[in-house]
Amino acid sequence: MAQPWRVVWITGASTGIGAEVARQLAADGVIVAISARSAEKLKAAADANSNLKPYPLDVTDAAAVTDCFASIERDLGPVDLVLAAAGTYSPVSLDDFSPAPFRTMYEINFLGVVNVLTAVLPAFRQRRKGHISWIASVAGYRGLPKAAAYGPTKAALINLGESLRPELEADGVAVSVVNPGFVKTPLTAQNDFEMPFLMEVDEAARRTIAGLASGRFEVAYPSRFVTILKIARLLPYRIYFALIRSAVLKR
């Protein structure tokens, strides 16, 4: 299937949704610059498809992110689409509550995207074209048990997109936020509870690509789960917390 982009840059491209989006785009003939901390995994992916170009990177290093983007554009030409997919997750337990997971997830999930934006936006705004997107989550819609560190970073990413979209759109730059539900990846494998509407990663990647190609601001899936959680945002706290206790905590 022909895609609307010639060159795409994806961070967090060694595993999960980022890796599968990169694989599918490369299979469709798109040149994809892939970034992640694991140079070994990036090389293995590039060895499997010559359209995948490895650029190892830690997104928490702002200067390195800027240098990486400059290298990609120098080597491959102007980037048409950026997908900031680098992220991490660990459930928060009240039994070993500490600042550590909050700090880690904030630096990777949120500031990692900010670092990518800082690197990319000057060129995109100057050219008055380009598409910048990042992976948030339906966990950012409302607070959920075990997601006390993860959920706020995703809520912040949704808010970030809402804040930037009007101004960047006026500059000719498209913005999209990807809000997946539960997707079968190494990160969700940590969960010890039943995950409703659990989706295979290849299907999540297909929906991500289709949504980005459509130019929508929010790309969210699966639709039934998204609808349920958006309705939950409208519920009064008394009803919402009662439902969470019975449906999620089972107590």
Catalytic positions are 150
Q: Among candidates 178, 191, 162, 182, which has minimal Cα distance to 224? A: 182
Q: Where are the beta strands (DSSP E) in the chain?
A: 7-11, 31-35, 52-54, 81-84, 131-135, 174-180, 218-221
Cβ-contact 7, 30 below 8 angstroms: yes
β-strand pairing of 31-35 with 218-221: unpaired
Which residues are within 8 A (CB) of 45 and not within 5 positions of it... i.e. 6 or more apart?
Answer: 13, 14, 19, 22, 23, 34, 52, 54
Residues 77, 70: Cα–Cα separation, whole Å: 10
Q: Which of 79, 105, 82 is nearest to 92 (CA)?
A: 105
Q: Which residues contact 74 (CB under 8 A, 6 or more apart)?
A: none
Whole-angstrom distance, CA of residue 44 vs CA of residue 19: 11
End-to-end CA distance of the chain: 48
